Structure 1
Amino acid sequence: MVTVRQDVHSTGIPVLCQSCEARHRGVCGALDPDQLVGLAKTSSKHTIEPGVELIGDAETVDSYSNVLSGVVKLTKSLSDGRQQIVGLQFAPDFLGRPFKVESAINAEAATAVSLCSFPRASVERMMRESPELEHRLLKQTLNELDEARDWMVTLGRKTAAEKVASFLLMIARNIDPTLDPNT
């Protein structure tokens, strides 16, 4: 017997959004069909090659994006020119920091990345109109905070082998979010 996901085939949802993971597991899942239509009218999808900077530190934020595939590396530039990796983002993560005019980090495509981007004004307007969207973004932000805390422990207290194992586990969890974190 074939099981069909009814939510994928419901009418009123933009075609580009119907099979998108950001709608099922990401921030767009908080939007109703009318809100998705409104956001889709302002969105653009594009693929970025590895190594391309998506936004630089202190650049004006004009848009936000959902990561549809690939890995985005988040870094902070140090005064001596080095970069410190402060995070990685995977599908269906939301890329950007709402309500901030300038970026405080660099975001670069670590692999080929597919993004669905929206103008900053559209997203911030929808957040004011949709408490569910604001809640979903807050939830993702808190998850990122938890990951950052875990990363600090990994960098500060673990052996080299434990660091590699923790890094691989983090990647595996993002590839398969159903993975039990205790295994």
Structure 2
Amino acid sequence: MTACDTCVVRNRAICAALDGGEVALLNQIGRRRDLAPGESLMWEGEDSVLVANVVEGVLKLSTGTEDGREQIVGVVYPSDFIGRPFGATSGHGVTALTQAKVCVFSRRDFDKFAREHPALEHKLLQRTLGELDRTRRWMLLLGRKSAGEKLATFLLEMSERLVDPGCDTQPDLPLSRFALPFSRQQVADVLGLTIETVSRQFTRLKADGLIDLPSRREVVILNRAGLMAEAG
């Protein structure tokens, strides 16, 4: 069996648009790679030589400011596609936040394959438009929402991407438990807040009964409707 045959995100990744024979051809130009937390896969401003599917784990997209600070501009999850096909340079760095597995392709090989398989190109276009929509929502999050709204929105997004929908056993009070792949400082960087503000908002959301915090990284959403109202 090939890596594609056993891939846990096979039906959700861009290769879902391909038939068995096409997947076998794609498998020939790809390779699996394991990433440790903090290990980078791509670097901002460098030649775009790789593209990849995320199989397991969570990775951050980041860019540097003029004064040398890092700004996290996005997060990718299993089944997401990363890299810049048909592009010359990488617009941001890509670094693992957790242990991660990715399926890596040479950009030139992938570009050639995509040109020869219109269904894959169409899937790439759909993903690009979806990413554009998320970017527009992110602009609203950073530009218009209050600190409490930002954190609530962020936690809801994390739960939607990290929690298996089948794990909620109480329809009237859905519980979502997940390990946040960010430190408090990284959450602050993502949301454009200070770490003190983030800590205060976590404490307030817990005091209001919307979430529980069993540990520094673990989050349990106790009242999804309430958290959605908090998110605006």
Counterpart residue number, 2:104: 117
Q: Tell me the alpha carbon deviations over residues 38-63 of structure 1, each in whole angstroms, 9 at most, x when there is no partner.
A: 11112111210111111111111222
Tell me if the contact between 2:52 and 2:103 (Cα under 8 Å) persists in the aligned partners. Answer: yes
CA distance in 1, matches of 2:8, 2:17: 12
Tell me if the contact between 1:62 and 1:119 (Cα under 8 Å) persists in the aligned partners. Answer: yes
CA distance in 2, matches of 1:86, 1:147: 11
2:22 paired with 1:35: yes
Task: List runs of 5+ in structure 1 lacking aligned partners.
Answer: 1-13
List structure 1 segments (4+ residues) > 4 angstroms apart after TM superposition: 176-179
Counterpart residue number, 1:102: 89
Q: Cα offset for 1:18?
A: 2.1
2:41 paired with 1:54: yes
CA distance in 2, matches of 1:157, 1:34: 48
Task: List runs of 5+ in structure 2 lacking aligned partners.
Answer: 167-224
Give percent identity, aligned residues only.
Answer: 39
TM-score in terms of structure 2 length: 0.68
Q: Tell me the alpha carbon deviations over residues 123-152 of structure 1, each in whole angstroms, 9 at most, x when there is no partner.
A: 111211111101111111111111111111
Count residues in correspondence. Answer: 169
Q: CA RMSD in A?
A: 2.0
User: Which one scores higher on RCO, CA 8 angstroms, separation ≥ 6?
Assistant: 1
Which structure has the greater CA radius of gyration? Answer: 2
Provide closer, same or farther for how the CA distance between residues 101 and 177 of structure 1 changes in structure 2, counting only shifts above 3 A.
Answer: farther
TM-score in terms of structure 1 length: 0.85
Q: Cα offset for 1:178?
A: 6.4
Q: Cα offset for 1:176?
A: 5.0
- What are the residue-to-residue correspondences of 1:57-68 with 2, within 5 Å? 57-68=44-55
